[in-house]
Structures are given as C-alpha cells and as structure tokens.
Structure 1
C-alpha cells in the first residue's frame, strides 16, 4: 500500500532516524520512498515502483512542499486557467502538481475545489504552517497526534505515528468497544488515545504547536418526494459519470466481482469491460453468477480459489495493514495480487456502495414472524410498523441516515 508519514515541530532526541522509522512502517514492499526534511519538519511518501506520477514536489520558489496519497480528477479546464494565470506545470496530468498550484492561487480555499480520493500534506514554509487535508470520504485515511511539546506527527497508518516516543501508548477503551460492537470505528478515534483520524472533508492547520481543524463540505441527507425510478436514474447517472472518470486513461482496469449488486453496478456502469476477478473457496453459485455476468458484458473472468489455509496465512499481514482496526477477512485479496497484477493495472471494488447505501454497519435488532427472523436497523419495530417495514425492506431505497451521527454528542 502507498502512504505518507512525517512530522512538524521540534522532536528533540526523537528526531534522528524518526522519518526513516516512520517510512519503514508503510508496507508492503516493493515501495519507493521519497523523503524530505529540513530539521524541524520532515515527510516521506511511499508509492509503488510502477507509478509514474510524482507525489512529493515543490513550487518554483521552494517555499511550498506538497505530498499526496491518492489522486484527483477532472481538472483539465482548471489546469489551463492556472497556466493562463502564469503557473508553470511540468507534467501533463499530475494531480499533486495541480493541487500545489491551486493552493498558490487560492490558499486554503483551494481544498474545497478538489474532486477525487486523496489525502494531502502541505508545508507552507513562508507562513510556517502545515496543512493536513482529507477528501470527502476519507478514502485515504490520515492519522495525526499532537505531542505535549507541540510536535505534530502524522501518517497514513497509526503504526507510523507510534514510531515516535513522544506519544503515549494508552488505549482508547471507547474505540475498542465501538469496534467490537460494529466491526468498524465510525468516529475519529483510534485504539491509541492520543492518535486521531482526520475526519472526512477536513483541513487541519498546524502552526506554532497548535492545531485548528475545519471542514469544507458536509454530507447532507434530505428527503425528496420522488419515485423509485427517479432515484434509480439519478444514481445511475452519477455512477456512470464517476466510473467514466476513473476509466479515462490507458490503464488496464480490473474489478472484484462478487456477483452481488454492488460490484454488478460498477460492471454495468463501465464504458469498457474491465477484467473481472472472483474469490471463492470452490466454484459455488456466486462464482457462477459472476462468470455469467462477465460473459454478458464481454469481460474476461478469473476465478481465484482460496485454499483451506488462506485466512490463516494472511491474518498477520491483514491486521498489520489495518492497524488492527479493520476486520482481517476484508483483506482476502492478499495472496492474489501477483495474479491480478498480470491482468490489470488498476483494481476496483464496490465496497463504498455497500457501506454508504445499505447501512451495513448500523446496529440492528431482530423480530420474528412465523418463525422467520427479520432484522431491523436501529430500533425495535412497533407492531403497527411491521407491515410498513416489510414493504420498505423489499423496495429499492436509500438509507437516510449518516452512521457517524450515532456517535456525535447531542
């Protein structure tokens, strides 16, 4: 996995070798590591050797340094406008370079104009200020900790921050309870009490040992009195637009196709057929459905069979990659990447659709009807609502609740 890690502020005795230790925690290999430091600050960006896009760069005056993990989309017109304003671009479609020049032009207001999945770190050396920026969904998690001496430590992994002796190792019991209840941490907590995740659509500004956090966008759900067909067509349009944007290059694209609705939607929305991969313990119904869907779409399909010891072999690496805060079974792709890499350069999955539209991680309760268990989200059903709930359950609908609100104080 690619990532970034670094610090800003005086690190005292911890400074020698700290950046190297933080970099070493970004796995797996082979990765290229691009470090930069000036004594009171340092950052390291790790990416795959196959990547051609520069992710750590400076402006012409060497007064601004920007590091990116991820990518931004659809900035061709904005890039031309910046060039017309006098900004010099070295690359044709370098997203990090675009973000750098956009900040030069607009300052912190630039971050709200970005469209993509990314995390950014920007050092404004003239203003002695550091910015940490997340995208609208925190697609690439960015963690941080403010030490007692005012040093800011940050990284794509909690493990990178934990390389510093400046932060404590006290566990956050509430985060642990949250994880064991929902197999997910919805808030910005981590298992370490002094380490937090930067919330979605957020900008953290660090200067002179203090941090100020703001948001540039907020997800809002609102009811609309429209038909199911209206919402289906609206979702279809947006999904096709997003997939088309991601496929607008010369890369070979692949899709983890389970045969379920989430990945099936991506297959249907694709402008050109991706290479499809299905994991399974044997050639079961799900594999057969995925194979049939691939054939209908004219896509190559590969069945990747898990051996009996698959999860036992990957558990250590899977837990390590997710800092222990993700279910290890979600990393079932481990062990198949070489086979996948032979067929494609970029790989998709439909997990975001599962997470944001089905409410997979919301708490549930069960009621029984004629011996059959019906699961309901959030609250027990009153008898007079049972018929309505059953009807709604089998209709295509969006869940009008943001899971993170469950953990926000009133």
Structure 2
C-alpha cells in the first residue's frame, strides 16, 4: 500500500538530517511508487511514499490541517471514512479532499486517541500535534499494516513501515536481539513487541503510542470481544448472520478508486470471496492464481473451476524450482527477516502478476484462525481430552516409562505418530499445541544453537507470549482460547507476510 516514516526528538537532541530522512523514506520506494512527500519542522519529521487508492488526484501526504496544527502520514484504507466525514462535517469540520486520509486526520484533530476505536479498516499512521508538541502512532485492530519504532535513551523516537528504513537512515546498526531468537525459531516469528533487531520494536495491533517530551506511552484501544456464552441461537440464524457480515465486509473493501482483483486459490475462503465480489460487481472480476510446477503442488484446476463458475477474468503464474531459489535473497530483504513461510515465494509471484493489472487485491487470509480451519486444532483438542483421561488413570511413574519408550523407538511411522501425542508430550496445552506444532521445539533448539548462542539466549521460554494469550481468556473453552492465541500471534505474521510480499511486487 504506502510507506510511512518519521521522527520526534526532544529539545537538545540532534534530529535526523534531511539527507538521512530522505534515505529513510526512499528505502521504501517499493511501497509507494506514485508519489512522495516530506514534512520537516525542526525536531519533528513526517515522510510518505504513496500508492494511490482513494481520491487519486488529491490526498498527497504528509497532509496538514488548514490551520497547520495537525499533520498526518498514513498507510491503509478506512472503510467507514464517509460516516466519519459526515459526523465531523455536522460538527462544523471542513474538508478539502474526498480521501480517507483527511477523515482520519480530522478525527484525530477532534478527538485524538479517543476516536481511533471508531476506525474500521486496515491502517498504520502517525499524527503530529504542533500545538501540544506530541506525536501519535496507531495501528489497526489485527495488524494488517505494519509499524515499527525505535525509542532511544535520549528520548528520540523513530518510526517506519519497515525495519530497513532505520538501517538506511543510520538510526540503528543491525544487531541480532538474542532474547527474541527462541520465540522466532519456535513460532515462525516473534510474538510480542520485540523483533530480531536490537532496539527495534513493533507497535502491537490494536494499540496506540503517544510521544511527548521524550517519553512514550502505549495502550490498547481494541481487543477481540469476549464471547457471551455458548448459546448463539439456531445454526440457521448463525449462518445467515455470518453470511451477512462477510458480504458487508467484502462490499466495504470495494471502495477503491482503482482496479481491484481477488487472489483465488480454489479453496473455500477465496472462492467465497470471489463469489461475493462477482455478485456485487458482476462478471469479469480479475482473479489471480499461483502454483508450483510440480504436479503434487499444483491446484490450479480448483481455481479454474471457481473462475469458470463466476465468469472471472482469470490469469495464472506457475513457479519453477529455479524461480523459487532465484528470488529468495530479494524476498528476505523485503521481509527484513529470514523467510519463515515458504508460501512467501508464490505469494510474491502472484502479487507481481496482479500488479500488472490491478492496485488492490482481496484475499482469504484469516479464515482458518476465525473458523478453526487448521487440522492442528482438532488434533490438539482430541489429544488434550485423551491426555487428561490418561493422566487420571495412570500413575506418574508409568507415564514416564511410556514417554521413554516412545522416544526410544527409533525412526518409523509409528514412532513419528506416537511422538506427536499425549503419550510423549503430556496433556498440557504448552506441550501439546505450541511445542508440538513449533518449527524448532525447545528440545530441537537446544541441539540447534551453538554454546555461545545458548549462553546469550539463556532459559527464555519460546512460548511465554503465546501462553499469555491463552491465559487472557481463562473462562473460555480450549478451542476458542487457541483461536484467540492464533488471532493474536500466528495470523499477525501471516498478515505481515501478505503486506511485505504484495509490496515486493
């Protein structure tokens, strides 16, 4: 979408020089090839690279209010900006453009942080208040749009859409943050605010950060609502309500003033979205699919069937092994970390294909975490239920003996299957879910890391952040507690992958 960056330095602290600030912004040219802007006010700076989506002719950034007090650098789309604009206009606020950027700017000018919970969309933005000399950073509810920051001991704050911007401007010298390594190795990515880069943090989804006089305050403005019991009414009503909500969500995302398409894998989620877009827009919707050259990794026939059904304008790309390895260095650069998901590679290729024809693409990311689509969910719940019964029926010494026998079985299908069950892991959710489905388990990390790396990592728990998400919903059932933990962690990383790979095209 777009790239934003900026800084705020207390009085007496040297701010970024203009050349450094330009290097910071231009490191993200790929995020916004249509336009660029820069606002420098002594100790404060906002910068922007724009990919024009709404009100293409206007909406240049950084955008400043008519009186010059407030300025914004914004990345994203807010789908209810017309409602916000109407309410602010009724209160006497004047508008000069039709873009959602100005609606967000005027909302913050009127209500500061109190208005952010009203925003429905995907966004990351910074607003500077010249009157009170304060800076506000905000990020959307689920973390669809990225936002990183560095807060130095001298009070200076730097922020950007991508970590490479800090490197390009000299704000940091790249250094591995060893305390984040166990989390990354186990869970595809770091779970909380930390990153693999020393001194670089990310603003969490659903959070704001306020800077003033060198001090920062972060707070949560949104969290997934608590479920109101298990009685949600008849299944037919639930299905109707879900379909209505999904249709409204898709319709809201068709607000772009530029060509739009759909990533179509042929699965249930992308097929459902394609059907709704076709219903709302009519035949001829642009759809895009990707597959590997190997037959066992090629599911294009499913996508083609959906495309025929809804009469879409369908195009495909096939990735060869040579293509896969050729782009790896480029994609690592775009992700700012080692690639944890091989699916980043096909996502890059299908994004590049789509960029030749459209500027906005809808995808089905998030459906598995919302609806429990991953196989590991039911496997964990069955394991947990059987494990609890097993714990009650057998003494500890017998359970230890069985665990030892399973681990000593050697290689083979039976050993591989038993080693993923309660017989080897016990009945605790930490072991059955997080460690069992990790990339590198705690035991594997002990073998993987060098002596010096283990000394620097210490005894950090790679699942501490994930367990905190489970513990945040103690009164819910295990299924919904796992979904909540994945929505707060795994989905966040998938959304970051989507953002980075779509910007790599």
TM-score of Structure 1 vs Structure 2, range by shorter chain: 0.7 to 0.9
CA contact (8 A) 1:359 1:403 kept: no
Q: Does 1:64 align with 2:75?
A: no
Instruction: Select the residue among 108, 114, 130 that pairs with 1:109.
Output: 114
- Kindly state the Cα deviation for residue 290 of structure 1 after the two structures are TM-superposed: 0.7
Deviation string, structure 1 residues 243-263 (Cα, Å, up to 9, x no partner): 011114554321111112221
Quote the residue 1:207 is aligned against.
212
CA contact (8 A) 1:56 1:96 kept: no
Quote the residue 2:41 is aligned against.
38
Deviates more, 1:98-107 or 1:60-69: 98-107
Cα RMSD (Å): 3.3
CA contact (8 A) 1:147 1:167 kept: no
Instruction: Select the residue among 334, 337, 340 that pairs with 1:327.
Output: 340
Partner of 2:95, secondary structure, is: coil
Instruction: Select the residue among 274, 285, 289 that pairs with 1:267.
Output: 274
Are the structure 2 counterparts of residues 405 and 110 from structure 1 closer, same or farther at C-alpha, using a change threshold of 3 Å? closer
Quote the residue 1:3 is aligned against.
3
* Structure 2: unaligned runs, 5 residues or longer: 384-405, 407-412, 429-478, 491-505
Are the structure 2 counterparts of residues 50 and 219 from structure 1 closer, same or farther at C-alpha, using a change threshold of 3 Å? closer
Quote the residue 1:246 is aligned against.
253
CA contact (8 A) 2:4 2:160 kept: yes
CA contact (8 A) 2:289 2:350 kept: no
Are the structure 2 counterparts of residues 231 and 162 from structure 1 closer, same or farther at C-alpha, using a change threshold of 3 Å? farther
Counterpart CA distance in 2 for 1:361 and 1:71 is 33
Quote the residue 1:157 is aligned against.
162
Deviates more, 1:108-117 or 1:319-328: 319-328
Query: Quick check: which one's strand share is greater?
Result: 1
Counterpart CA distance in 2 for 1:50 and 1:335 is 22
- Kindly state the Cα deviation for residue 185 of structure 1 after the two structures are TM-superposed: 2.5
Number of aligned residues: 391
- Kindly state the Cα deviation for residue 400 of structure 1 after the two structures are TM-superposed: 4.0
Counterpart CA distance in 1 for 2:16 and 2:313 is 52
Quote the residue 1:402 is aligned against.
485
Are the structure 2 counterparts of residues 326 and 149 from structure 1 closer, same or farther at C-alpha, using a change threshold of 3 Å? same
Deviation string, structure 1 residues 51-74 (Cα, Å, up to 9, x no partner): 724342101111110111011112
Counterpart CA distance in 2 for 1:405 and 1:258 is 25
Quote the residue 1:341 is aligned against.
355
- Kindly state the Cα deviation for residue 276 of structure 1 after the two structures are TM-superposed: 1.4
Q: Does 1:308 align with 2:321?
A: yes
Q: Does 1:280 align with 2:291?
A: yes
CA contact (8 A) 2:367 2:373 kept: no
- Kindly state the Cα deviation for residue 80 of structure 1 after the two structures are TM-superposed: 2.2
- Kindly state the Cα deviation for residue 118 of structure 1 after the two structures are TM-superposed: 0.4
Instruction: Select the residue among 213, 221, 243 that pairs with 1:216.
Output: 221
Counterpart CA distance in 2 for 1:293 and 1:362 is 27
Deviates more, 1:126-135 or 1:261-270: 261-270
- Kindly state the Cα deviation for residue 269 of structure 1 after the two structures are TM-superposed: 2.8
CA contact (8 A) 1:182 1:362 kept: no
1:12-161 matches, cutoff 5 A: 12=14, 15-28=17-30, 30-48=33-51, 52=56, 53-92=59-98, 94-161=99-166
Partner of 1:54, secondary structure, is: coil
Query: Quick check: which one's helix share is greater?
Result: 2
* Structure 1: unaligned runs, 5 residues or longer: 383-396
Give the structure, 1 or 2, with the largest relative contact order (CA under 8 Å, sep 6 or more): 2
- Kindly state the Cα deviation for residue 312 of structure 1 after the two structures are TM-superposed: 1.4
Are the structure 2 counterparts of residues 376 and 118 from structure 1 closer, same or farther at C-alpha, using a change threshold of 3 Å? farther
Partner of 1:262, secondary structure, is: helix
Counterpart CA distance in 2 for 1:360 and 1:316 is 30
Counterpart CA distance in 2 for 1:88 and 1:361 is 52
Counterpart CA distance in 2 for 1:193 and 1:311 is 30
Counterpart CA distance in 2 for 1:95 and 1:406 is 28
- Kindly state the Cα deviation for residue 141 of structure 1 after the two structures are TM-superposed: 0.9
Counterpart CA distance in 1 for 2:375 and 2:339 is 12
